[in-house]
Amino acid sequence: MLRCVEFVEQVTEMEEGASRPLARLWFQLHRLACRYCRRYLRQMRAVREVMQAPASPE
């Protein structure tokens, strides 16, 4: 089983779809089993969306 620190290290790779199938499987299993990493992943995605969104006019 993946440890949390390994999960965090792989998040960017996974989001870019650059990972191997087996690594992806372990990643998904950890995500399902670990609520801390689920929350981390959600925050990562939220931050990424904000970063990618065009600046809205004030």
Residues interacting with Zn ion, by CB under 5 A?
4, 7, 34, 37
Which residues neighbour 49 within 8 Å (Cβ) at sequence distance 6 or greater?
A: none
Residue nearest to Zn ion (CB): 34
Give CB contacts under 8 A, 24+ apart, made by 18-27.
26/1, 26/2, 27/2
CB of 21 to Zn ion, least distance (A): 20
CB of 7 to Zn ion, least distance (A): 5
Q: Which CB atom, from 10 or from 37, has the smaller least distance to Zn ion?
A: 37
CB of 53 to Zn ion, least distance (A): 28
